[in-house]
Amino acid sequence: MQIACKFYPGNPSLLAACDRELLGKTLKNGELDFLVRESFYFERFVGSPELAELLRASHIVNLVGEKAVECSIASGIVNRNSVKLIDGVPHVQIYRI
């Protein structure tokens, strides 16, 4: 499984991750256009174990796609009820204070 991700270090740190096939796509939800911009979401590809580590280390997380979101659920970081759909694609944002 390849998930595109980009880690932005700092305080707070930010992790953006999406399923590989979503890079560069535009998701539509009513009047909302959600661009899965490669410059924001892609630095490298990772598998589920590495994504789970990055999820635990990040203060702010933005996930798009079934694989990326499912990894966060399987890791116990996200409750399935917190997942939103944009154009039928799972999306999660996490903010840790």
Sign of CA dihedral 53, 3, 1, 22: positive
CATH number of the domain located at residue range(s) 3-95 in this protein: 3.30.1860.10
pLDDT in tens, 6-52: 999 999 999 999 999 999 999 999 998 999 999 999 999 999 999 99
Q: Interior CA angle at 21 toward 35 and 45, to 5°?
A: 100
**In angstroms, rounded to a whole number, what is the distance separating the alpha carbons of residues 7 and 34?**
20
Q: What is the mean pLDDT of the chain?
A: 95
- pLDDT at position 83, please? 98
Q: Read off φ and ψ for residue 77, nearest 5 degrees.
A: -90, -35
Coil, strand or helix at 95? strand
The reported pTM is 0.93
pLDDT of residue 97: 78
Could you tell me the residue ranges of all domains in the chain? 3-95
